[in-house]
Amino acid sequence: MNRFDQRLLFSPVITAKIYSFIAKIDAIKGQWKTTNTLSPQMISRLKTSVLITSTGASTRIEGSKLSDIQIQDLLSKIKIKTLKTRDEQEVAGYLELLKNMFDSWKKLHFSESLILGFHKELLKYSAKDERHKGHYKIDSNRVEARNVQGELVGIVFDPTAPYLVKKEMQELVDWTQKKLATQQTHPLLVVANFIFEFLAIHPFTDGNGRASRILTNFLLLQSGYEYIPYISHEKIIEDNKAEYYVALNKTQTTWKKKKEDISAWVLFLLECILKQSELALKLIIQESVEDFLSIKQLQVWEFALSHETFKRSEVIEGTKLKARTVEQAIKKLLNMNKIKKFGQGKATRYKVR
């Protein structure tokens, strides 16, 4: 048994937790397939909204400062605007790649060349990445700890050496292709295992985190989770950024050790996918709300559906609507019993019931 399979053997307690998540996710997957009645108009609006939200979240995880409003503005001008800043270049690349992937995932074949192609498109607008876009790293990208004088005091994480990347990526892709084709292992475990190893190898000089989230979306779509384009996976990761890094760091310390333990990462990713699935289910259960809302109120409702929780100020920023309009929409949704309120004063938040 190779180490990819070996590390998917969990303790009985962890196994029970994992399959509890999987059962809930797959139940929603089944409901989506049998009851998805989203109107073409709502699908179009949701896709555009998710492209902006996902791009903003994924690039902010890596340090970008652009808000969703700035990204929306960039989207409308991308064909005529010169992308001067690194943030704008990274956002444009992610946005374009995600849209293309959502539009063509059924025609694409998962392979090493696809991953390299995704990376090339991801960094398409990044001037400083011209030399290495679409190519594996040729220099070490280990994570180092340095003191205030800039002196090396330790290695936080040491990913795969450049000369081994090609070999290890081939092995990982071969294993993933085989498991998805034969269905010997549940696809959610295959995806979680693939993303963990991909991030540990850290095959590219830059863009590994962003590429991993594009690949997560793609592999979930190809595994039958077809609601992925309508609820932002990246936003859920961003909202749980601290837990994301804790889970990764905890599991990466066991990488390539005699006994690897990736349970923290698998549980974290499954919990995020479950949240995404539950939000998707709310879309089809509650689309009838559209009949009772104005166009502007509908914008607030769609914002609510795409966020686990939200504040009034976040809706104003995310929709560009006036404060009074947002206030009226929230009040109407509360009266319709579609959202609930918790907290008081400035700490007040809302969530879809």
Residues annotated within a binding site for ATP: 206-213, 244-245
- Catalytic: which of 109, 135, 186, 202? 202
Four-residue CA torsion sign, 123, 126, 130, 132: negative
Residues flagged as binding site: 206-213, 244-245
What phi and psi, each to the nearest 5 degrees, are found at residue 341?
-110, 140
To the query of whether residue 202 is one of the catalytic residues in this protein, the response is yes
Four-residue CA torsion sign, 216, 214, 202, 145: negative
d(CA 322, CA 324): 6
Contact 189, 269 (CB under 8 A): no
Provide the H-helix boundaries in 132-207: 162-182, 187-201
Strand partners, 146: 152
Is 338 strand, coil or helix? coil
Question: How is residue 101 written in tokens?
Answer: 């992937």
d(CA 289, CA 302): 10
Closest CA to 50 of 351, 244, 279, 334: 279
Question: How is residue 122 written in tokens?
Answer: 């991801």
Closest CA to 227 of 82, 54, 63, 31: 31
d(CA 127, CA 134): 14
Contact 88, 200 (CB under 8 A): no
**What angle (nearest 5°) sits at the alpha carbon of residue 51, between those of residues 50 and 55?**
110
> How remote is the C-alpha of 52 from its chain's centroid?
12
Helix (H) or strand (E) holding 329: helix 323-335
- Single-letter amino acid, residue 246: V
Closest CA to 299 of 338, 280, 326, 337: 326
Four-residue CA torsion sign, 66, 71, 72, 78: positive
Active site residues: 202
